[in-house]
Amino acid sequence: MAPRRRGFTLVELLVAMAIVGLMLAVAVPAGFRFYEGMQTREAVRDVVTLFATARQQAITSGAAQDVLVWPEERRLVLGDTTRRLPGGLRVTVHGAEEVNRESAGVIRFYPEGGTSGGGIDITNPGAGTIAIAVDWLTGRVTQTVHDRS
């Protein structure tokens, strides 16, 4: 009886490599979409938190607080606090003309709890837009998701 050789045949190795290749072809794009979605959710959370902080500071200090937004730079500023949003996102600000500054949109929070109104749209080119609106009367912050369709 001839001795048996151990190991894999060339066909078995090619099949295994093809299966691994298919798995990577599916997993890598899904991983990128997950990462982009995570960046968008983090940006929305940062904006909503900054708005809530500005409203709270206005109420407790008795002085109006401005959130300045530079859409081209994807930068938001409240006093000494600066937030930069990820580079893959597009930012649009909607603010009252009377409080906007030359290159920055402004959302002003008043001590009574109201605001100048307005909002920010955060667009992820591959996923859609999330509109963050600030109610002028109550200062309430709401989010609306607009799919890319």
Look at the chain and report how many structural domains it folds into.
Answer: 1
In a domain, 5, yes or no: no
CA distance 122 to 142: 13
Please tell me which residue, 8 or 30, carries the higher pLDDT value. Answer: 8
Q: Among residues 115, 124, 121, which one has the least CA distance to residue 144?
A: 121
In a domain, 23, yes or no: yes
pTM of the model: 0.79
93-140: pLDDT as tens digits: 998 889 998 889 999 999 999 999 999 999 998 778 999 999 999 999
Q: Would you say residue 4 has pLDDT above 60? A: yes
The CATH number given to whatever domain includes residue 36 is: 3.55.40.10
Q: Predicted confidence band at 148 (pLDDT cuts at 50, 70, 90)? A: low
- Tell how far CA 10 is from the center of its chain: 48
Determine contact, residues 61/111, Cβ cutoff 8 Å. yes
Contacts 24+ apart (CB under 8 A), 138-142: 138/113, 138/114, 139/55, 139/109, 139/110, 139/113, 139/114, 139/115, 141/48, 141/51, 141/52
CA distance 135 to 114: 8
In a domain, 108, yes or no: yes
47 HSE (CA, 13 A, CB side): 31
Least confident of 31-45, 83-97, 113-127: 31-45
For residue 30, what are the domain limits?
10-146
